[in-house]
Amino acid sequence: MALPTTADWLEYLELPKSVIDGIQSKEASTYSANANQFLSALVNKILYQTVDGYDFKNPFAKFDSFDIEYGDTIENVWVDAVEGYDYDPTNTNPFGQVTPNVTVMYAQINSERQYKVTIKDAYLRRAVLSAAGITRLVGEILSQLPKAADRENYFLTMACLQNEDIYYDGFEEVEKGNTDEETAKKVTATIIDAVSGFESLNTVFNAAGVLNPTPKSDALLIIKRTVYNSINLDYLTGVFNLEKVDLIKNIIVLDDLRYVQLTPGVAPAPAVTSVEGEDLDFIVLDKRGFDNHVALQDGGLIYNPQGKYTNHFYNVWRITAFKHFYNARAFKLVEPSAETSESTGN
């Protein structure tokens, strides 16, 4: 009996034609860089790589309160001030009752987000020459999961601040001046009035209408960058600066006070990203009013031995709200009315 030839073995093994063609192709005299099969942006067998990635720090993260380990609701109880009365020597009944004035509001988990990324280790190994290379690359990819959550948490807070109901008088309008300097003066005067008003003993600057003054140390200014720069550069020819006076100790400067919203599309339509909310210019509020809590934060992975890849997961569930017991005002700059322009001679 004749021994099987190589051709017989190949036919018996039923190897795919693509494998046979790859084996039978001649060696190339020049190197042709092959794109990585998992991440086509990478080229296989690079001697050295630098790995950088997107970074973001949520300016509102410092206002997160305690974590929620059990349940899904927070009961916020406000105990109002007790009123006194004139002493009556004839009223000697100590058993009369005075019910305390208590207001209750509830905040529930309103965001349950999951983040996922797939790592194909076998293919990524072709793009590096050492274990350190793949560790650095995979580490940077996985680090984007909590960063993505942090970015979304920022927009969740911005969406909360776009709720007109948390402000005692909704979105208030401030007329611009006829020059940048006049506008800067008007904005500054409005901020001063809001902060000093918060410090006073009244009930008119919070949505719940309760007596709750805000110390200057707890007043927070959230302001659009263009308005902030206008105050610092134009007002009093640069002499005035919000950070250098004892006006407000907490300032967050943002490019936009609106939020980004992703609306999933129905196939074949793609998802749509849009900027939502009122184009506010600055907000003054009591930072103690933030009712932000992490209810769940965990992660995990699962390896698919058939597909030779690992799926990594990161979960964040949150409560994002603002307690109506605390002072808050929001402002939007508008063009001066015809009456105002006439009164200034323009």
Contact 6, 88 (CB under 8 A): no
| Predicted local confidence at residue 238, as pLDDT | 47
In this structure, what token pair is assigned to residue 224?
Answer: 């659009």
| Predicted local confidence at residue 80, as pLDDT | 83
Alpha-carbon gap, residue 278 to 208, rounded angstroms: 22
Average pLDDT over every residue of 312-337: 94
What's the distance, CA 225 to chain centroid? 17
The mean pLDDT value of the chain amounts to 82
What pTM was estimated for this model as a whole?
Answer: 0.79
| Predicted local confidence at residue 324, as pLDDT | 93
Alpha-carbon gap, residue 202 to 181, rounded angstroms: 32
Average pLDDT over every residue of 316-334: 94
Is the pLDDT at 97 greater than 80? The verdict is yes
CA dihedral 77, 78, 81, 83 (to 10 degrees): -60
Alpha-carbon gap, residue 138 to 276, rounded angstroms: 34
Average pLDDT over every residue of 219-223: 95
Average pLDDT over every residue of 169-184: 90
SS3 assignment, position 73: strand
Write out pLDDT tens, residues 126-140.
767 677 777 888 888
Is the pLDDT at 93 greater than 80? The verdict is yes
Alpha-carbon gap, residue 321 to 183, rounded angstroms: 32
Alpha-carbon gap, residue 82 to 100, rounded angstroms: 7
| Predicted local confidence at residue 316, as pLDDT | 93
What would the DSSP string read from start to end of 96-133?
Answer: ------EEEEEEE--EEEEEEEEE-HHHHGGG-SSHHH
Question: Which domains are delineated in the chain?
Answer: 104-343 (3.90.1690)
